[in-house]
Amino acid sequence: MNLKNNKRAYVIAYTGILLSLAIVLNIFESMIPPIAFLPPGIKLGLSNIVTMYCLFFIGKSSAIAITLLKSTFVLITRGYIAGLLSMTGGLCAIGIMILLIVVFKNKSSYLLLSIFGGIFHNIGQISMASLILETPLLIYYLPFILIGGLIAGTLTSVLLRILMPALNKIQIR
């Protein structure tokens, strides 16, 4: 069986598996009860682990596909507002990561990309929430965005490192 002939199908199937992983992580992290003083709807961003892995080892288009499809899932199950927040957060995160990869090539570490991804994920979500409510949430919540994004990004990159061997077991040659 020559894998190269099936490569396109392989990539699609593999992306599908990663997408379901991202969705499960998203469901899991939405079960964690929010704390009163944190911004509305801010999540840990665990599904970013999967998106990052896809970005680094499969390709940019697959990673963007995972982000969009995951947001579509949120749209279907939790409604327009949640789907919109997920989409802006996810696209901001993957956008800045792609930008950093293109600009810095291999010089940026996983930790740096993850932190920027986390921070921009929060910025995207708060900006969209701010737009919907027409209140200046962004200014007030900036410290939470920065520090929360930093912590989430660090956590994501550490988890990525831990999970890397398991995720690598399915390889594309």
Partner 1 sequence: MNKNRKFYKRVDIILIALVLSIGFGISLLQNDTDSTDNERYAYIYYENILVTQIDLKTAENKTFELKEDPEIIFQIKDGAIAFISSPCHDKICIKSGYIFHDGETAVCLPEKTVLTIKSSAKTDVPDVIVR
Determine, following the binding rule CB under 8 A, whether residue 20 of this chain makes contact with partner 1. no
Q: Which is nearer to partner 1, 1 or 167 (CB)?
A: 167
CA 101 remoteness from chain centre: 15
Taking the C-alpha atoms of residue 26 and residue 44, their distance in angstroms, rounded to an integer, is 9
Position 69 contacts partner 1 (CB under 8 A): no
Note whether 82 binds partner 1 by CB under 8 A: yes
Instruction: Determine, following the binding rule CB under 8 A, whether residue 28 of this chain makes contact with partner 1.
Output: no
Size of the site for partner 1 (CB under 8 A): 40
Among the residue ranges 14-22, 63-71, 86-94, 138-146, the one whose residues contact partner 1 (CB under 8 A): 138-146
The residue whose two tokens read 């911004």 is 39
Q: Is 66 helix (H, G, I), strand (E, B) or coil?
A: helix
Buried b (16+ CB within 10 A) or exposed e, 112-130: ebbbbbbbbbbbbbbbbbb
Based on the shown chain and the rule CB under 8 A, indicate whether residue 78 belongs to the binding site for partner 1: yes
Three-state SS at 59: coil
Give the separation between CA 133 and CA 22, rounded to whole angstroms. 28
81 lines the binding site for partner 1 (CB under 8 A)? yes
Query: Is 169 a residue that touches partner 1 (CB under 8 A)?
Result: no
User: Rounded to the nearest whole angstrom, what is the least distance from the CB of residue 91 to partner 1 in the complex?
Assistant: 18
Q: Are 38 and 148 in contact (CB under 8 A)?
A: yes
Residues binding partner 1 (CB under 8 A): 30, 33-34, 36-37, 40-41, 56-57, 78-82, 85, 106, 108-112, 115, 119, 129, 132-136, 139-140, 142-143, 146-147, 149-150, 154, 157, 161
